[in-house]
Amino acid sequence: MRGWGAETAETLAGFLIVRVIAPESEILNIAIAPSQRRKGIATALLTEAENTLKKDNVTRVFLEVRESNQRAIAFYKKYGFAATGRRPAYYREPPEPAVLMERKLTA
């Protein structure tokens, strides 16, 4: 597992956690504090993670996201991820499908 964090002077602003089984990886979690959203932190974390993963010869990144989380889906699409499938009832509380997404990394 690998992780990256972003902090402000006061607190943790966000983090990203990835599981790596080269040549593939999976984003397990990306979270940004509500007060720190829309400031480029998620982009910076994703960029740093991808740069490191490329150096480690990772060629594909996967993730799952709640189907109702259209803001996250749009964010991932903006950065080259494509929807590749759907897992019904993947999430609980509330029950909801997951959208599977993938991005191929190039050097």
The residue from 24, 26, 67, 76 that is catalytic is: 76
Does the annotation mark 64 as catalytic? yes
Does the annotation mark 91 as catalytic? no
The residue from 24, 26, 64, 102 that is catalytic is: 64
By the 8 A CB rule, do 1 and 20 touch? yes
Query: What is the secondary structure of 62-82 as a DSSP string?
Result: EEEEETT-HHHHHHHHHTT-E
Catalytic residue positions? 64, 76
